[in-house]
Structure 1
Amino acid sequence: MNPTPFPRRAALVGAVLILAIGSAIGLLTQTGAGSWYQSLIRPDATPPSWVFGVVWPILYILIGAAGGIVWSVRQHPARRRALFWFVLQLALNFAWTPVFFGLEQIALGLGVILALNVAAIVATIRMGRVSPLAARLMLPYLVWIGYAAVLNFRIWQLNPALPTFA
């Protein structure tokens, strides 16, 4: 029995597409000096701003490649459900930045990122049924968004005077 060949093209297209979308959303949202975010009380565990610019492109490449791999496995019975959860978690990922930074809604952002964590875990499990490699590529992302959820929660705790909804 021949192993399924690695779907290089699908992984590459997925990685580039998700990297481009995620980067565009990030670039359209101001988080630097003079922004609302800089005025917040942040936990000591908040990494310096430059770390986000390094970590997110890597994560987008990994999750894009994972999605591309699952997409390319056309005949697998678990593919459709895995892609549903992948797209759902990706939509939540892309929604979090505009909600948290753009709308300046810490509590709503917390809700989005908690839903993102659940959807990403389910997506990773479902993707693992289609391709163990795809699931492994999602693992650094799961760690990072779990960390991001903790940071979002702590920012919400440390800034109680801010309005909950606009």
Structure 2
Amino acid sequence: MRKEQLRAAEAMGWASLLGLTALPHLGGLWGGFITRQEVKTWYPTLNKPSWRPPNAAFPVVWFSLYTGMGYGSYLVWKELGERQEDALVPLGLYGLQLALNWAWTPIFFGAHKLKLALIEVVLLTGTVGATMVSWYPISRTATLIMTPYLMWLCLATSLNYCIWRDNPDPKEE
């Protein structure tokens, strides 16, 4: 009976690892579907700063960031174990930042709302920072894994700002 329990626990651990690591990619796939056509039609018409990364970099970077944030969430979840009351804030903030992350693409690329996307990415960046602060006492490794994501969001926020600034909405003037 003991071996069966160990095997079941091990299988559950692997399922949790794979599930939590893959979870962020669900929104990434949806965002990629929304972005694919807009990158060919609408996005090239925008004025963009010369320092923006090439379009080909975005899927590679986001794949890495989604994998890292998912694995980080697994580390926090695993460390908290059965202490569900302790998980509310760190995993709640993680879920909020994930929802905000997934919402940005439909706002920017789907609805072409540059100002709203800027406000949203500022909220996202702050929520990622709060997530990292809440994770630090639980798993420093998970927190460090989130650092490239926060850095990328700072770049993305700057890029979103410049695009909004340089492409005024005629309805807002």
For this structure pair, what is the TM-score category when the shorter chain's length is used for normalisation? 0.7 to 0.9
In structure 2, distance between residues paired with 1:53 and 1:93: 14
In structure 1, distance between residues paired with 2:15 and 2:137: 21
Deviation of the 1:31 alpha carbon: 3.2
Normalising by structure 2, we get a TM-score of: 0.83
Count of paired positions: 157
Which piece of structure 1 moves more, 11-20 or 35-44? 11-20
Name the counterpart of 2:38: 31
User: Structure 2 residue aligned with 1:40, among 42, 46, 55?
Assistant: 46
Query: CA 1:162/1:62 → structure 2, altered by over 3 Å: closer, same or farther?
Result: farther
Question: Any conservation in 2 of the 1:10–1:71 contact (CA below 8 Å)?
Answer: no
1:72-129 Cα distance to aligned partner (Å, 9 max, x none): 2224564221011101111110000000110000000000000000000000110122
User: Structure 1 residue aligned with 2:147, among 127, 139, 145?
Assistant: 139
User: Structure 2 residue aligned with 1:56, among 55, 59, 62?
Assistant: 62
Question: Any conservation in 2 of the 1:96–1:112 contact (CA below 8 Å)?
Answer: yes
Name the counterpart of 1:98: 106
Deviation of the 1:136 alpha carbon: 1.0
Segments of structure 1 that go 5 or more residues without pairing to the other structure are: 1-6
Normalising by structure 1, we get a TM-score of: 0.86
CA RMSD, aligned part only? 1.7
Look at both structures and tell me which one has the larger radius of gyration over its CA atoms.
2
Query: CA 1:24/1:111 → structure 2, altered by over 3 Å: closer, same or farther?
Result: same
Q: Percent of aligned positions with the same letter in both sequences?
A: 33
In structure 1, distance between residues paired with 2:152 and 2:112: 21
**Residue 28 of structure 2 aligns to which amino acid in structure 1?**
G
User: Structure 2 residue aligned with 1:69, among 71, 75, 89?
Assistant: 75
In structure 2, distance between residues paired with 1:78 and 1:128: 13
